[in-house]
């Protein structure tokens, strides 16, 4: 059973749709995005995406576990921060674009790890970043370093602390410069779903860079 959550709504939806298409039971808790009626998949169970504080994360995980009885994997998406040149960036913009998404991801990760340990069977947690938004603060051809570096550090800390208890945590970083930008989501989706699966049981605390 996979929970897909986080601040990147479109990416979360694509991940949930593909996981459901492959036969997984899927819960989705992410911001709503415009979605053609024909593209909706009925097997995806939707939950409120309010993980803005620890209590919201508690309610989400409790609701998912009550619905599905177990939680095997969580994919947490992180939207790319819209930041410009440092000299033109206000503290409020920095808080909203960078600090707030990282805080939500940390709270969700902490609650998910608690659930994995309490259930006794371990689990897999995967962080996925959106492609960086082009601008003065972005490095051409590189992944989203502002969000990515923090998530890599968090993933490695989780892997080191609870890896021996069958809990794995990895990161998918997205960079530009791949062979085609016509549809940049599939490479991210493939990497994230692989890391969330039992096939990747030997991978822990690693960051995969996917070019799109």
pLDDT single digits (tens) 109-125: 999 999 999 999 999 99
Look at 62 and 188; give whichever has higher pLDDT.
62
- Token pair 């440092």 in the structure block, residue: 86
Residue linked to tokens 């000299």: 87
Please answer whether residues 130 and 80 qualify as being in contact, where contact means their C-beta atoms are separated by less than 8 angstroms.
yes
* pLDDT at residue number 141: 45
Mean pLDDT of 53-59: 93
Query: pLDDT tens digits for 151-186?
Result: 999 999 999 999 999 999 999 998 766 555 556 568
Say whether pLDDT at 140 is over 50.
no
Which range is most confident: 40-49, 122-131, 180-189?
122-131
DSSP symbols for 34-49 = ---GGG--TTEEE---
Q: What is the pLDDT of residue 78?
A: 87
pLDDT of 181? 53
Side-chain half-sphere CA neighbours of 120 within 13 A: 0
What is the overall mean pLDDT for the chain? Answer: 84
pLDDT of residue 130: 81
What interhelical angle do 185-195 and 9-21 show, nearest 10? 60
Is residue 84's pLDDT more than 70?
no
Mean pLDDT over residues 28-57, rounded?
A: 78
Say whether pLDDT at 2 is over 90. yes
Spatial distance between the Cα atoms of 189 and 203, rounded to a whole number of angstroms: 17
CATH at 166? 3.40.50.720
d(CA 120, CA 174): 32
pTM, to two decimals: 0.87
The mean-pLDDT minimum among 66-70, 94-98, 179-183 falls in: 179-183
φ/ψ of residue 109, rounded to 5: -60, -45
How many structural domains are present in the chain?
A: 1
Contact 158, 125 (CB under 8 A): yes
- Say if residue 40's pLDDT is above 60: no
Dump the DSSP string for 175-206: ES--S--SS-HHHHHHHHHHHTSGGGTT--S-
What is the domain range of residue 117? 2-211
Phi first, then psi: give them for residue 31, nearest 5 degrees.
-60, 140
């Amino acid at each position: 059973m996979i929970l897909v959550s986080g601040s990147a709504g479109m990416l979360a939806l694509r991940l949930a749709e593909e996981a459901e298409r492959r036969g997984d039971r899927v819960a989705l808790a992410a911001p709503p995005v415009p979605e053609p009626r024909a593209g909706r998949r009925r097997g995806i169970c939707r939950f409120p995406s309010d993980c803005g504080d620890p209590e919201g994360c508690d309610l989400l995980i409790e609701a998912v576990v009550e619905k599905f009885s177990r939680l095997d994997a969580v994919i947490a998406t992180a939207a790319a921060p819209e930041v410009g040149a440092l000299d033109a960036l206000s503290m409020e913009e920095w808080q909203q674009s960078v600090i707030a998404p990282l805080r939500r991801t940390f709270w969700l990760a902490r609650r998910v790890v608690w659930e994995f340990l309490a259930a006794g069977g371990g689990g897999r947690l995967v962080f996925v970043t959106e492609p960086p938004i082009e601008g003065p603060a972005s490095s051409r051809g590189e992944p989203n370093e502002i969000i990515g570096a923090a998530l890599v550090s968090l993933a490695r800390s989780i892997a080191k602390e609870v890896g021996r208890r069958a809990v794995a945590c990895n990161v998918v970083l997205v960079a530009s410069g791949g062979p085609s930008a016509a549809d940049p989501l599939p490479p991210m989706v493939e990497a994230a779903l692989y890391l969330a699966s039992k096939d990747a049981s030997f991978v822990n605390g690693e960051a995969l860079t996917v070019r799109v």
